[in-house]
């Protein structure tokens, strides 16, 4: 039995597999930091502790420099390790799953409706929304490139759909900066931790580009780091949306116990995690 349809897409029921949603923090980054820390430690021992290469004042100076460097790298490595373990679907905290499931709980699609998940990555949110709305269809789009290219792919999305036995999904290539869809094509648009990663782009304009493909009466559920330094004044943005006819628009702080508490958000660098919900 072939795992492909005639059009080249994957048949979600052709084989049983376990879902692999990956980790938002690339494992290779953790490995790099561990290697950097070990290299710095070795250099510290050779040049700052041992007198085999340097002696006297030079050894002391380089010992101080390399010692500070080792301490900084060690702290960064520890933080990256905490991030990785917190987001890991196989770990104890499973924060990524908590956020995905929590965001999907806000998604309601009518029978026959079609929703779009922007920047779907490994398909986690797309699939979670599809499972909650079995008589609707979810479309996940991503460019599957950049820092997450090695971890996420279109094939992985279909593999995960197979593993979850979810059929009412499809995945297409699409860039959030310029979505390849007609105006008012979807009944829902959603996204999770995507826009803040797009460097050099006005985040409010990215939101408007996403809302462009939303039908009148359609809903949006967007979760991201919406602090002022990244997104600008969201209160004014919401006021503008309301003047343009958007309804029930609100910001929900997800670091106040909804997905995580304030201390965890601060530790993990997730300050500003917010749900933007409403209706066009």
- List, for residues 96-150, the tens digit of each pLDDT value: 999 999 999 999 999 999 999 999 999 999 999 999 999 999 999 999 987 777 7
Domain extent for 69: 27-87
Q: For the residues of 39-56, what is the DSSP string, one character each?
A: HHHHHIIIIII-SSS--H
Q: Which residues are CB-contacts of 199 (< 8 A; sequence separation ≥ 6)?
A: none
Categorize the per-residue pLDDT at 69 as very low, low, confident or very high, splitting at 50, 70 and 90.
very high
For 49, 119, 187, 236, 268, the CA distances from 154, given in Å and listed in that order, are 50, 11, 23, 37, 28
Q: What is the 3-state secondary structure (H, E, C) of 100-133?
A: HHHHHCCCCCCCCCEEEEECCCCCHHHHHHHHHC
Q: What is the pLDDT of residues 169-198, one digit of tens each?
A: 999 999 999 999 999 999 999 999 999 999
Residues 55, 157: one domain?
Answer: no
Say if residues 2 and 57 touch (Cβ distance below 8 Å).
Answer: no
Query: Does any domain span residue 116?
Result: yes
Exposure string for 43-68, b = 16+ CB within 10 A, e = fewer: bbeebbeeeeebeeeebeebbeebee
Handedness of CA 29, 30, 32, 36 (dihedral sign): positive
Short-list 190, 201, 279, CA closest to 242: 279
Q: Are 144 and 243 contained in the same domain? A: yes
Confidence at residue 164, expressed as pLDDT on a 0 to 100 scale = 96
- Its pTM stands at 0.88
Note the pLDDT of residue 7. 44
For residues 208 and 106, state if they share a domain: yes
Q: Is the dihedral of CA 104, 109, 112, 114 positive or negative?
A: negative
62 lies in the same domain as 129: no
User: Average pLDDT, stretch 225-244?
Assistant: 96
- Judge whether 139 lies within some domain: yes
User: Which of the four pLDDT bands, split at 50, 70 and 90, describes residue 2?
Assistant: very low
247: enclosing H helix or E strand: strand 247-253
What does the mean pLDDT of the chain come to?
92
Model confidence band, residue 24 (pLDDT cutoffs 50, 70, 90): confident
Question: Which of 62, 87, 112 is at the close of a domain?
Answer: 87
| CATH code for position 158 | 3.40.50.150
- 76 in the same domain as 33: yes
Tell me, yes or no, whether 77 and 99 share the same domain: no
Residue 15 covered by a domain: no
Q: How far apart are the first and last CA of the chain?
A: 44
**Structural domain contains residue 13:** no
Question: Do both 241 and 201 map to the same domain?
Answer: yes
Pick from 15-29, 75-89, 168-182: least confident: 15-29
Considering the domain boundaries, does residue 233 fall inside one? yes
Is 109 in the same domain as 173? yes
Calpha distance 188→97 (Å, rounded)? 21
Q: What is the pLDDT of residue 26?
A: 82
Percent of the chain whose predicted confidence (pLDDT) is above 90: 86
Domain check: are 155 and 222 in the same one?
yes
Q: Are residues 188 and 229 in the same domain?
A: yes
Closest alpha carbon to 268 in 39, 32, 80 = 80
Tell me, yes or no, whether 16 lies in a domain: no
Say which residue the tokens 């004014």 belong to. 236
Tell me if 21 is assigned to some domain: no
Domain count, the chain: 2
Percent of the chain with pLDDT over 70: 94
pLDDT at 10 over 80: no
What is the reported pLDDT for 52? 87
Q: Which of 87, 106, 121 corresponds to the end of one domain?
A: 87
The reply to whether 132 and 82 lie within a common domain is: no
Inside any domain, residue 4: no
Do 270 and 134 fall into the same domain?
yes
CA quadruple 237, 96, 122, 219: dihedral positive or negative? negative
Q: Are 107 and 133 in contact (CB under 8 A)?
A: yes
């Amino acid at each position: 039995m072939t795992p492909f349809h005639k059009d080249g897409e994957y048949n979600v029921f052709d084989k049983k597999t376990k879902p692999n949603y990956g980790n938002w923090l690339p494992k290779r980054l953790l490995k790099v930091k561990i290697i950097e820390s070990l290299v710095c430690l070795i250099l510290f021992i050779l040049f700052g502790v041992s007198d085999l290469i340097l002696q006297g004042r030079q050894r002391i100076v380089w010992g101080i420099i390399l010692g500070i460097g080792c301490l900084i790298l060690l702290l960064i490595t520890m933080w990256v390790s905490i991030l990785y373990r917190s987001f890991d679907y196989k770990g104890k905290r499973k924060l990524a799953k908590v956020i995905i499931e929590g965001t999907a709980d806000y998604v309601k699609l009518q029978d026959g409706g079609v929703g779009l998940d922007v920047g779907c990555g490994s398909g986690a949110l797309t699939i979670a929304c599809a499972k909650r709305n079995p008589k609707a269809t979810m479309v996940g789009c991503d460019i599957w490139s950049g820092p997450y290219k090695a971890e996420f792919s279109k094939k992985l999305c279909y593999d995960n759909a197979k593993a979850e036995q979810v059929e009412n999904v499809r995945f297409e290539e699409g860039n959030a900066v310029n979505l390849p869809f007609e105006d008012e094509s979807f009944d829902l648009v959603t996204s999770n931790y995507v826009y803040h990663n797009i460097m050099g782009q006005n985040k409010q304009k990215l939101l408007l580009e996403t809302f462009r493909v939303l039908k009148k009466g359609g809903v949006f559920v967007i979760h991201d780091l919406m602090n002022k330094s990244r997104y600008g004044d969201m209160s004014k943005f919401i006021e503008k949306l309301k003047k343009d006819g958007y309804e029930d628009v609100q910001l929900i702080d997800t670091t106040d116990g909804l997905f995580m508490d304030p201390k965890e958000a601060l530790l993990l660098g997730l300050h500003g995690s917010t749900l933007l919900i409403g209706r066009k």
